[in-house]
Structure 1
């Protein structure tokens, strides 16, 4: 038997090393370019570290005075008369607040001032309002507020703008006092900090004596606030943001010190506090949790003096709003609904606690070294070990990267493990195909060698038999896909063994339901189930049986959920999609591992319809072909006519309801049908009116009606040139 030819060891090592170095070079290039997708993954890893860390307790210095729903109910809609704001500031400072920072724009005159009202009445109606008995200081609310600001430690909010087509405001407010420590060769701070071209400023009567701070928070591309610019350049001046300026006012520090390095800013010093920042002056905000980390006091309670003075003594008070209608809501790694005013409190808290998360200056060097070491180690694993070693070894390498990054994160330094993990994966994707090709080459050599001991006719018969193994047939079947809603987030709350146990508890009755209805269980795909009817045996009423099984699954899950909630603390919700049509069904797979399954456009469409459940708020979604093949055992409510992603032919989709439910909701379904008819005809205004009424009256289909309400509003605003009543989805 001839020996298989191969590369000499030295040549093989060289051939192995060159692709590995190429992979490392590719990952280093990606690290330097920071493409948006990888930058977003980096942010997700940062969020995971931040939300998992053991954060220090928050400082008791920052507090929030909230213009909340309670305050709006007590004192009327926003904006309030400025005398109320003056009262609020006076009350806070009388109770000992070290500084009051207004996360509010005071860019327009108060329209409720008595003097202004008198002039408008005279102009519009010729009526003279007698203000003779009104004290002069109360005639103009803006003057009253300006006098209050001048005698109290207050910082006003400004909003920096970056639209290049807007001119600089004039006159500019007083800049923040600063001193620069710029070594030779380092750029001055004004060249590297974020440069605004204009700003929404307080009225000059307010900012003449009162310092200002920027209220911008600069969310990332995904809308999540992770870092905040502490400095801005406006004109030739540098201004601090609201939180930094409030801290300066609270410490009675008139000047901050800016220190620069070769790339730009490195540190801001205010009093005894040193604040590490990026070259552009951005500080990562180490949020400590969802909203409510810092004390909240309703503005109404402050005005009514229901808050004990000791709760405000020496505090830096941020005045803002969490009221839903006032739109000062942000997203953070902890909370998608986080009041913007609390972001400023979190910045002050981080500075006072010295709780920083910064990217060290040596991060590029560490990342380069880590990518090279991980790349070479992964290359050695994939080239010189056996297949059963690949998984454990790669997990060990990735685990070391995660542990090292997590350890540094706990010390206040963020060096992402993303590129190390990507290097390991890339080495595998590069090397394993070569290894598999080499293995196949060796197998072919062995088969050639085997033919020397067996007659060529026998080898030919074995080869011919391989084709028969994969033979199948085309049949019309009904295909079902189910999926657990939000299972990824649910599983994060459970240990891996609990996840397995939970899935076993869930799958047992579901698979029994498929079998009892005459269906064939195809496979489990994570938490999803694929099944079909009418193969391998004929099932004459396969469409009705499939729909019955899907509805029965929903009943079984509702019966199972109380036990799951008691044992695992979770309640499961599933969506089911069904379609019937021709498929190719039979044994498919490799020569030593087969799977009886079906493939075809029918399967793909059934999977897409399962994804429509969440979009339309339905438990079971079926195609028009499916509904047409079922008898009166169910009521099929029309949902839409759509084109799913990747398909050009439209399909009508329906939700499934049992007759008793259909009778109970007869009026609702009739109105829905009329609204859909108007929508299909292009009468979006009338259809939208009906859907708005349905949304308010019937809560069982809130998602469905909200989809159409929003869609009709959008179509009314931008009517299509040609309307065929079909909605196209560009995502799954």
Structure 2
């Protein structure tokens, strides 16, 4: 119950943050921030994944070298025909996929121009028609390309579009299957309205065709590609699927649906369209290709891409056309024909590079199909994300408020590391792409919110500390306490402390000689100076009692040298009185004299008082003795008197023992002392004077009156003092009234 009262609000905030994060995971609270962070983390994982060179796939690059030697793009179809013939007939490529569209007829040979001239301006030219018939096949570049493609494992690429008012061009290849073949099932796939495809004679000559549309995420990066797409009720293959199928001799690609079970009926599956994978039926085996939403697959990028950094082999198209390469460079390889020239606009932004050749994206997909090695977002990814968010919320939400900042930071960092490491392990060894942005964000938010709450709580505690102790304690002590407010409280406790009482001598006479406004200034100046001396020596100012001041050392902040600080303060207060009197004299105010009593011992300290008024103060016998010592300073004519425990606790000062006294309220006699200053600062004269005094005091206690009187008179002649006068009077009294034989030399005070 106590923990609930203390941390209940913090736990409630953590629960709220965890609930909001769960809402984001379940897409009840839509946000793009989490998706962007997950994309960023996905890209980091992709870049960190090492890959080896893949010799099975070759990219024939229409590069700068090829353009320099053959001419600018687009090339005449006869050049493309030569390229195709070299790949298929000479180098025996396993399959050839064109990441290029041949949508317009090639008229670069000039045959159509000659044909029209032969029908009009040159129709009477002898032998022209016959010659044109002879040249027809040679100058029909589209026909030459169709002939080069025919009966070869060549896949023509085409492009879908959803642009408004776009017009379809060219001819599509036969579809993989139609909507009617699904028996009422529906597929969640990309739908298109138009296309740009190849000439009919080229497409009909090719073994198949495939589209090469990528899927752009919101940040414009290609992380996945569709494997099938729909237009006019028919489903078509991607270039990667069609090229792989041509290489493997597979006849079809078909959807594989989930089977009905106790959890979902056949009719529900039919409406839901729950597809498990795509199946590529080959002559030897069936390859299952897992799919994401909308029949896409995540691309496993193996390198930064391009000629220099790819894990695929890049060959210049001109070297293929001129057959400069050995047969082993292409024999039995899957070939993709594309371009890396920036001006031909086939560069894409990907997780591994902002300028990645589009043709190499298809190569990566083909490699995944051949290896049956696909990155996959499992169906349980949302549940996994929800579970880790709940666990993070429970762990950090409960523990962080109970821990200090450093331990809390370590727990938060360790939790984040576990999330990241587990995610990378599942990615690297299980090919599972699982979200972690939500959990990491929750870790950060919970840590920051708890840190902020702790800071606000600490600020509030510090303000409370200042409010509680600021009136009593020196500012630097308040700052020290505020740095660790939990270590301090106003609850009562017993400690060894040192207390100081100060009082003005003859204050009644002073008050009668001053006007009210002058008295106010007088007492304010006095109390200000005394308070500053106390606080400057780390003392706790307890209270003002009229013209009296009470202070103590050692609480609330523990001070091992509390007795020394109190003695130093008392001596400084006497010096301040001298300075005040110099100022008072200029205003013709009466001189100020104070007496100070100091005592050290066990005291009860804490917040004490009544329901009406309370104060942080000290109580106990040691406190009462300090007050009595202040009262008798005027008896001995000294400014400061300390008890024996203070003297023992502050041995660096030189003391003059004044007497052994029995104050009112105590039966046990106590020695009392006057601090004379730091021992190391006293000269030999002062030290000698103290020794002579102690000799005189010893003679008095031994009742050697004549010897004591002689010593006191010598001291009085050297430096007069009221203390010597007091003891000379006592000697005279003892001569007239001899003390008993067992006299202990103690002076008893019956009044306060």
TM-score, reference length from structure 1: 0.57
- 2:241 is matched with 244
Residues of 1 paired with 2:11 and 2:435: CA distance? 26
Residues of 2 paired with 1:339 and 1:171: CA distance? 26
- 1:596 is matched with none
Residues of 1 paired with 2:467 and 2:7: CA distance? 28
- Which of 258, 267, 274 does residue 288 from structure 2 map onto? 274
- The structural deviation recorded for 1:250 is 1.0
- 2:54 is matched with 59
- Which of 79, 88, 91 does residue 84 from structure 1 map onto? 79
Decide whether aligned partners of structure 1 residues 125 and 453 sit closer, same or farther in structure 2, where only a CA change above 3 A counts: farther
Checking the alignment, whether the CA contact within 8 Å between 1:180 and 1:257 is kept in structure 2 is no
- 1:225 is matched with 222
Residues of 2 paired with 1:394 and 1:198: CA distance? 52
Contiguous gaps of at least 5 residues in structure 2: 259-271, 476-526, 536-752
Residues of 2 paired with 1:76 and 1:418: CA distance? 50
Contiguous gaps of at least 5 residues in structure 1: 1-6, 466-732
- 1:538 is matched with none
Pair 1:406-2:424 in alignment: yes
- Which of 23, 26, 29 does residue 29 from structure 1 map onto? 23
Aligned residues: 451
1:671-721 deviations in whole A, cap 9, x for unaligned? xxxxxxxxxxxxxxxxxxxxxxxxxxxxxxxxxxxxxxxxxxxxxxxxxxx
Residues of 1 paired with 2:331 and 2:62: CA distance? 20
- 1:158 is matched with 158
- 2:741 is matched with none
- The structural deviation recorded for 1:432 is 3.1
Checking the alignment, whether the CA contact within 8 Å between 2:170 and 2:198 is kept in structure 1 is no
Pair 1:265-2:283 in alignment: no
Residues of 1 paired with 2:77 and 2:157: CA distance? 15
1:564-616 deviations in whole A, cap 9, x for unaligned? xxxxxxxxxxxxxxxxxxxxxxxxxxxxxxxxxxxxxxxxxxxxxxxxxxxxx
- 2:396 is matched with 378
Residues of 1 paired with 2:326 and 2:231: CA distance? 40
Residues of 2 paired with 1:124 and 1:41: CA distance? 68
Residues of 2 paired with 1:390 and 1:40: CA distance? 27
Highest CA radius of gyration, 1 or 2?
2
Checking the alignment, whether the CA contact within 8 Å between 1:287 and 1:346 is kept in structure 2 is yes
1:386-434 deviations in whole A, cap 9, x for unaligned? 1221221111010011101111110201112211110011113333333
- The structural deviation recorded for 1:54 is 3.0
Decide whether aligned partners of structure 1 residues 449 and 139 sit closer, same or farther in structure 2, where only a CA change above 3 A counts: closer
Checking the alignment, whether the CA contact within 8 Å between 1:265 and 1:280 is kept in structure 2 is no
Checking the alignment, whether the CA contact within 8 Å between 1:107 and 1:201 is kept in structure 2 is yes
Pair 1:42-2:56 in alignment: no
Structure 2 counterpart SS, 1:380: helix
- The structural deviation recorded for 1:445 is 2.7
TM-score, reference length from structure 2: 0.56
Residues of 1 paired with 2:62 and 2:419: CA distance? 45
Decide whether aligned partners of structure 1 residues 293 and 418 sit closer, same or farther in structure 2, where only a CA change above 3 A counts: same
- Which of 421, 425, 431 does residue 450 from structure 2 map onto? 431
1:281-315 deviations in whole A, cap 9, x for unaligned? 11111111122221111111111111222222221
Decide whether aligned partners of structure 1 residues 230 and 445 sit closer, same or farther in structure 2, where only a CA change above 3 A counts: same
- Which of 318, 337, 355 does residue 300 from structure 1 map onto? 318
Residues of 2 paired with 1:458 and 1:214: CA distance? 91
Matches within 5 A, 1:382-461: 382-410=400-428, 411-451=430-470, 453=472
- 1:137 is matched with 137
- Which of 43, 63, 70 does residue 65 from structure 2 map onto? 70
Decide whether aligned partners of structure 1 residues 179 and 309 sit closer, same or farther in structure 2, where only a CA change above 3 A counts: farther
- 1:729 is matched with none
Structure 1 counterpart SS, 2:276: strand
Decide whether aligned partners of structure 1 residues 365 and 390 sit closer, same or farther in structure 2, where only a CA change above 3 A counts: same
1:364-390 deviations in whole A, cap 9, x for unaligned? 111001001111212233210112212
Indicate the RMSD between aligned Cα atoms, in angstroms. Answer: 3.1
Matches within 5 A, 1:518-533: none
Structure 2 counterpart SS, 1:227: strand
Residues of 1 paired with 2:198 and 2:364: CA distance? 24
- 1:234 is matched with 231
Structure 1 counterpart SS, 2:279: strand
Checking the alignment, whether the CA contact within 8 Å between 1:371 and 1:420 is kept in structure 2 is yes
- 2:633 is matched with none
Matches within 5 A, 1:249-648: 249-261=246-258, 262=272, 264-270=274-280, 271=282, 272-291=286-305, 292-410=310-428, 411-451=430-470, 453=472
Residues of 1 paired with 2:121 and 2:445: CA distance? 77
Checking the alignment, whether the CA contact within 8 Å between 1:264 and 1:280 is kept in structure 2 is no
Residues of 1 paired with 2:140 and 2:54: CA distance? 39
- The structural deviation recorded for 1:348 is 0.5
Checking the alignment, whether the CA contact within 8 Å between 1:181 and 1:257 is kept in structure 2 is no
Residues of 1 paired with 2:6 and 2:275: CA distance? 49
Pair 1:208-2:204 in alignment: yes
Checking the alignment, whether the CA contact within 8 Å between 2:171 and 2:197 is kept in structure 1 is no
Pair 1:173-2:173 in alignment: yes
Checking the alignment, whether the CA contact within 8 Å between 2:409 and 2:447 is kept in structure 1 is no
Residues of 1 paired with 2:3 and 2:274: CA distance? 50
Decide whether aligned partners of structure 1 residues 438 and 52 sit closer, same or farther in structure 2, where only a CA change above 3 A counts: same
1:445-488 deviations in whole A, cap 9, x for unaligned? 322331464599989x99xx9xxxxxxxxxxxxxxxxxxxxxxx
Pair 1:20-2:34 in alignment: no
